[in-house]
Amino acid sequence: MTTPITFPSGFLLGSATAAYQVEGAAHEDGRGDCIWDTFSATPGAVVHGHTGAVACDHYHRMPQDVALMRSLNLGAYRFSVSWARVCPDGSTVNEKGLDFYSRLVDELLAADIVPWVTLYHWDLPQALEEAGGWPARGVVDRFVDYALAVHERLGDRVRQLTTLNEPWCSAFLGYAAGVHAPGRTDPQDGLRAAHHLLLAHGRAVQALRERDPGLELGLTLNFTEMQPQDPASAGDRDAARRLDGLANRFFVEPLTRGAYPEDVLEDLGELWPQDLVHDGDLADISTPIDVLGVNFYTGSMVTGPDPEAAPEAARQARAYDAPSPNVGSEHVVVVRRGTPVTDMGWEIRPQALRDLLLWLQRDHTGPAGTRLYVTENGAAMPDDPDGTGFVDDQDRVAYLDGHLRAVHEAIQGGADVRGYFVWSLMDNYEWAYGYTRRFGIVRVDYDTQERTPKASARWFADVAGSGAIG
């Protein structure tokens, strides 16, 4: 028997999606191409050549989708704005694109659902990519202009604005490993992109706060637990330190401490572009934020050679192995533990979410007075619908139950966690996996676009409606 738990009064329970994954309407009302339109049209880039051209057709079905959210008792809906819909060429504002988001916000507010807006969820306008993309410093100013344009239209009704979603993925999966858009495979491009993403965040926060001091501003980072295969092995401890450094500390420390971790810069060695960080950049990046969004899915066990051999091992891996997102530590190997995994092959580690939230509270967000929200957590599972389209996904229910309990334990341990968003509201375009992986608590039949709440949706609706797990 599990123990009933109750979340604090006002704890926000919602769900999330991203524009390219759900909207469709790829060329309607003036929307321009984004890097995912181009990447998904590249042969071999995405499973089965799937694209987001139609996705879940949310652009046309938005009112019904908001009614569905209301039926699931969601207190908030975290969605992203398509930069290419709002600024098709990366800079010129398209009012028709903003019209859609204005209608969405009105629909949400009428349903008593908080609109939680993410400005960037990986869909850079293709025009800006052709001008250099995130590795080019000029994109920073374009992002600030775009952020202000969105606020100009929505700021009278939207009070929560997130600048970026998962800059680690944008930078290292997109520009170093090449498995996400735009598909580049240059480690230094990845590092330049990472810095410019953080700089764009900081400068956008400054501009938005000057425009509207009452906004609740922040960004969302993805975190992954890293453990050594053998804690007694210096090489395995070094491997865990390296990937924890690049995946986790490389992004949170500039925000809260105004500096990149020294050990990570040492790991990067000659890869770190000496002309990258300009005077004042880190002060801009560390502009105080109100909220840190935490995306968490899994943990990893890793192994590596003795620390003395690591730099040469990394150089050899860069030269002879497939491109890697682990810039400067490409030699580190992830080890399977044989523990339960999701349909993505990701290990299920709810206790790691508790430990992560407590670490952030102790070392980063607590001292800064920054509130925490779990902005994504969920699981792709091998769903098996019955004849009516219903999915009895007790595996996903168990995943969500375990992770929500971990959040509750973190709150009891002193972490200032104010809300939780399940990923995702509905099955959608899962990036390079196309439509072959399903994260939704609502099933989407991609042939008919029919939405069918799964057992997990019914379960989460009870939690969201009561603020408790029985």
**Active centre residues (catalytic):** 166, 376
Instruction: Locate 82 and state its tokens.
Output: 């398509």
User: Which residue's structure tokens are 């030269």?
Assistant: 319
The tokens 């009278």 sit on which residue? Answer: 156
Q: Quick check: 349 and 299 in contact, CB under 8 A?
A: yes
Radius of gyration of the chain (CA): 21
Query: Rounded to an integer, what distance in angstroms lies between the CA atom of residue 167 and that of residue 293?
Result: 12
Q: How long a stretch of residues is the chain?
A: 470
Read off the tokens for 168: 């680690």
Distance CA 62, CA 400 (A): 26
Residue with tokens 């006002």: 10
- Separation CA 208–CA 204 (nearest Å): 6
Phi and psi torsions of 39, nearest 5°: -65, -45
Residue 302 pairs in a beta bridge with 228, 334
CA-CA-CA-CA torsion sign (26, 32, 37, 41): positive
Alpha helices in 111-245 (DSSP H): 126-130, 139-154, 167-168, 174-175, 187-211, 234-244
**Beta carbons within 8 Å of 147's beta carbon, 6+ residues apart:** 119, 161, 163, 204, 207, 208
Q: Could you tell me what percentage of the chain is helix, strand and coil, using 3-state DSSP and rounding each to the nearest 5?
A: 45, 20, 40
Cβ–Cβ < 8 Å for 201, 163: yes
Q: Decide: 357 and 294 in contact? Cβ < 8 Å.
A: yes
